[in-house]
Amino acid sequence: MNRTAVVAGATGLIGKELVQLLLNDVAYRAVTILVRRPTGMVHPKLVEQIIDFDQLQQADVQMGGADVFCTLGTTIKKAGSQDAFRKVDYQYPLSLGQLASRQGARQLLLVSAIGANPSSRAFYNRVKGEVEEALSSLKLPVLHILRPSLLLGERKEFRFGERIAASLSVLLSPLFSGPLRKYAPVQASTVAKAMIFAAKSNQAGIHIHENEHIVKLKQEK
């Protein structure tokens, strides 16, 4: 029990799965979650820290030697505008990475998205690619970037488009083979398990895990 974890995005689809796994993992003695408001969660290893993500650089967050997990993310519809989306999916993760680098975190693990590319014509994929690029330029000893496809799981909010896509993916699952396997939907719990496995792999440098590899990481764990 010599590891500590810091999680940003703890109340999201992947984040809530990740926090539970970390709390139940004997390798971690403390799990700090960075949240905007109280969650009501109680656990002997849990430290809940209420912060303003716009002021993250000034927050009294201890990341020295920690595994820092970033599962922050939204949609343009929920954010309300492209600028608001960019704040959550680019500015906040980058600010977290800068703080982690400055404080000497053990590593940073980021949930990005399939198709992330800073040169993409699609705004969503371009922002994801830009934050990957920005984080890669920081002096982090270890950076793991996970690029899952469509996420499956129970969300707090109803997303009609994703609900339809998830339903169709079950019906069309036999088609996700061969070259199309990388686009197969993935359970949020699978991504969370893969993040912890990657964190424990003790591999220095920058590592990008595409959708297919995420499933393999979870199986290896």
Domain that holds residue 44: 3-220
Task: Report the number of distinct structural domains present in the chain.
Answer: 1
Mean pLDDT in consecutive groups of 10 residues from the start of the chain, 221 residues = 94 96 97 95 95 92 96 92 97 97 96 96 97 96 96 64 53 54 83 96 94 76 47
CATH of the domain at 161: 3.40.50.720
Which residues lie across from 34 on neighbouring strands? 8, 49
What pLDDT does 181 receive?
62
Mind listing the pLDDT tens digit for each residue in 18-53?
999 999 999 999 999 999 999 999 999 999 999 999
What pLDDT does 113 receive?
96
What pLDDT does 221 receive?
47
What pLDDT does 184 receive?
81
The reported pTM is 0.88
